Structure 1
């Protein structure tokens, strides 16, 4: 028998058994039905993956656009349109799915190939970096610096401020410090405000004497504002003890 005719017969037999080879080209977009293709939901299209069967793909993307059947067909072709934003000119892409003999998707192709990038989720703008947290001020109990109702530094108070200067080290001339004095509520508001100012100035003066540039240190008093604790009526000695946290000096700008 003529070899040529044998080969033709074998090819016809394979085609009849659904063994036709998968085509590598794309159909003419002008033959699409409906004309111009359809607008596809990108979220639906992103659900496609090899391993899906034809029924699943049909439910997901609808009927192929080039009169391709369900059974014995190894390739489905779609003509999809996309808009990047509302009112933008549509982008047209051809999408081709290849199936094995059992009708299971084994691969896909795009024309143009760049259309595949449309399935990538839109880039999410990176969140701006969180602002650096402002370091908490150094809080020193006034009772550790002064005798009760006094504004002259005690020996233990000077030693405590020596620790602050040591903490600053070589940065002592490179920082801007704010010293704020606070009092408790015992006594008149005006008196407490003046006392808190004198205490803040005493701390500032000592820091300057220990080498911190005078222009780098500010001092202010805030009296009995911004209390840390609230205490009810009590005998004076007990009230003094209860309000101790409110009597304080805070130094901002020291950092870590």
Structure 2
């Protein structure tokens, strides 16, 4: 601030009574000034008059620099480009040392303008992609009925699985799960499903998949895909075929 400006402010007007706002028609310049909300938010009690003068400019109602306890401003704001202006009177209260100790607004609703600018909420991260479904292979395509020895057709099918891994073969983590139908006892079916899962795991390892990357487990007749009623044995075997399967999780794509 120049010395001339300080002298001009020092010689102007007298203090207003706290909270007693002057007539807006007396503002100079007429109609007040437009002010940046971001700049106005820098105001806080504890600032001195020199700091406030640099931030907000000359008071609009002839108050001086020294010995006065209030400064009055007439501010205009636009919330959005082209919107009608909002006019607010802003009064700063000082202590005897010229340090701001508070402020008043007219209308009082204008006080909300000093609240921090709303922070746009960060967009929610997209939901994680669900893991790809396991590769499901009919047990009848891998083994003879009631057998855990891979057939020639079964080995060829697993060769296709290995080829599909390509360069990812050393980085996959596979889980081989065997399932049976409900024909036979639960204990027998659990053992059979585990032996089949082991056979598939062992073949994949023999074809180059790291042994520590393949886990095998048997689920017996759990999680059936189809339900079949009473029927002659041959017909029941055909009906329950979808339940006899091997699933390989972690193949991806």
Change (3 A) 1:185 1:117: farther
Q: Secondary structure at the match of 2:223?
A: coil
Determine if contact 1:26/1:77 at 8 Å carries over to the other structure. no
| Alignment partners' CA distance in 2, 1:249 and 1:133 | 21
Tell me by how many angstroms 1:141 deviates: 0.9
5 Å-filtered alignment, 1:151-230, equals 151-230=148-227
Q: 1:161 to 1:92 in 2, by over 3 A?
A: farther
User: Following the alignment from structure 1 to structure 2, what is the Cα–Cα distance between the partners of residues 176 and 151?
Assistant: 23
Q: How does 1:1-256 map to 2 (within 5 A)?
A: 22-24=31-33, 26-27=60-61, 30=70, 50-51=83-84, 76-79=87-90, 118=115, 120-256=117-253
Change (3 A) 1:239 1:143: same
Q: Which residue of 1 aligns with 2:7?
A: none
Q: Residue 196 of structure 1: SS of its match in structure 2?
A: helix
Question: Distance in 1 between the 2:125 and 2:104 partners?
Answer: 36
Residue 92 of structure 1 and its aligned partner are, at CA, apart by: 5.4
Q: TM-score, normalised by structure 2?
A: 0.58
TM-score between both structures, scaled by the size of structure 1: 0.57
> What are structure 1's unaligned runs of at least 5 residues?
1-19, 33-44, 58-75, 81-90, 97-109
Distance in 2 (alpha carbons) for counterparts of 1:177 and 1:206 = 13
Contact 1:46 1:119 in 2 (8 A): no
List runs of 5+ in structure 2 lacking aligned partners: 1-28, 34-58, 64-68, 73-77, 92-101
In structure 2, the CA distance between the partners of 1:183 and 1:93, relative to structure 1 (3 Å rule), is farther
Q: What is the RMSD computed on CA atoms of the aligned residues?
A: 3.8
* Runs of 4 or more above 4 Å deviation: 25-32, 45-49, 91-96, 115-120
Q: 1:253 to 1:95 in 2, by over 3 A?
A: farther
